[in-house]
Amino acid sequence: MQFREADAFHEECGIFGVTGNRDAASLTYLGLYALQHRGQESAGIVTWDGETAFQHRAMGLANHVFDEDILRSLAGSVGIGHVRYSTTGQSQLMNAQPSLVRFRGGWLAAAHNGNLVDSANLRTRLESAGSIFRTTTDTETILHLVARAYARRPAGEEADKAELLAEALRGVQGAYSIVFMMDGCLVAARDPRGYRPLCFGRVKNGGWAVASESCGLDIVDARVEREVEPGEIVIFEPEGPRSHKMDAAGAPESFCIFEYIYFLRPDSVVRGVSVDTVRRELGRSLAREKPADADIVISVPDSSNAAAAGYAEESGIPLEFGLIRNHYIGRTFIHPKQSLRDYKVRIKYNPVADTLAGKRVVVVDDSIVRGTTSQKLMDMIRRAGAAEVHLRIASPPIRFPCFYGSDTPTRGELVASSKEVAEIAEFIGVDSLGYLSLDGLLASVPGSSESYCVACFDGSYPHESVIKEAATSAAGRAEG
């Protein structure tokens, strides 16, 4: 997921925070590096040196956005960072995060992963009360709510940060995993249903770190303590992390199952299991549910490597590297005057003809969104000499858009929203097509089936009424 692909789901953000470490900016930068797969359009860091706040945000990958001088200018031992997937355009720099403002309580910054389902209503209410908005992000909405919660406190009364945030977030509906830097204090919060991942741990050489995924803690040599629980606010105080439960805590959990399927990095550990292990199990289940009479199994690198290995293992069909991925690619902007067959997919993948020629090939992929990329890819494999192409998908058909922070096309563009599996197979041009069943999927992931959001597969949105309204407006598009 190195560049914006028309034909994939997009995780919208990765967040990171650290406190109590005088390398705060460097650690945050490393954390963003490790979380880069969650957003490649902009990156930003805010730090606090005990007196003032420093900020740098720009469009691009973390390693283009930051350099040595910039990191040095981000002074202090507290920092939060953000990588974002968003639409391009210079004007969009305003929307890059973390957002940093001055409020009654001093400096306030936040970095957010998720999507509020009622954000249009919240903004209208805030505007009616005299708020001004500079961005179109949910983060700004949340900052307003925090500032207004603070303003309701009697002057001179010391505000408890956790209670303040709990009050601000009360009534906010949707998905949010957030790190705040509030008057120099690092705080992490996760919505009561826990759609998006968030974990924290102790940094070996000092302090505490929070990250969307455990791979963000690994890179800074932090030992994972645990996940932030749904509906929990964790305040990182000098004496260590302190937990505060939101009122709404106790709502049913709705962890995004697509995180396991595609978004998470394979080396991250969520719910106690490494993502690689879960995906390998998805591949095994898929092999059992949808076997194929074939000579070799290949993956669509790198996202389906583990599932393909599981499929091979379970089926006994040997795993080969039939597609080579070019990792140098960025945006594709060329517009050849003459037709150039498949160049858009060729830019990313090239078949290994030796390996494929004359073979009956099982291709394992993680998911199908529009189906157009699969179509080109399978055609390329076939033209490289494959005798038969059997496509196996390590997740169920995607039939519904997401309103919780994944960037998805409209329902009409999802190939499975209007086509049966046989029709999709024909559309893509494969000899056979098999999806993992929803039951098979739920049986392969850790924890109870009820603790997952599977709305993109079955349309049962946790916030059905709010979504219904939003879906009819333009606000359904994910942000943040």
Q: Which is nearer to a copy of itself, 267 or 464 (CB)?
A: 267
Q: Which is nearer to a copy of itself, 109 or 415 (CB)?
A: 109
Phi, psi dihedrals of residue 170, rounded to the nearest 5°: -65, 130
**Number of other CB atoms surrounding residue 245 within 10 Å:** 15
Tokens 């009561």 belong to residue: 192
Q: How far is the CB of 89 from a copy of itself (least distance, A)?
A: 9
Q: How far is the CB of 191 from a copy of itself (least distance, A)?
A: 22
> What DSSP state is assigned to residue 338?
S
Q: How far is the CB of 263 from a copy of itself (least distance, A)?
A: 14
Residues 337 and 396: their CA atoms lie apart, in Å, by 39
Q: Which is nearer to a copy of itself, 26 or 113 (CB)?
A: 26
Enumerate the β-bridge partners of residue 187.
180, 235
Residues 5 and 17: their CA atoms lie apart, in Å, by 28
Q: Which is nearer to a copy of itself, 128 or 472 (CB)?
A: 128
Residues 320 and 323: their CA atoms lie apart, in Å, by 9
How far lies 205's CA from each of 17, 208, 234, 269, 376, in Å? 15, 10, 21, 22, 49
Is 244 in contact with 235 (CB distance < 8 Å)?
Answer: yes
Q: How far is the CB of 70 from a copy of itself (least distance, A)?
A: 8
Q: Three-state SS across 4-50?
A: CCCCCCEECEEEEEEECCCCHHHHHHHHHHHCHHHCCCEEEEEEECC
Q: How far is the CB of 121 from a copy of itself (least distance, A)?
A: 14
Q: Which is nearer to a copy of itself, 100 or 292 (CB)?
A: 100
Respond yes or no: is residue 199 known to be catalytic.
no
Active site (catalytic) residues = 13
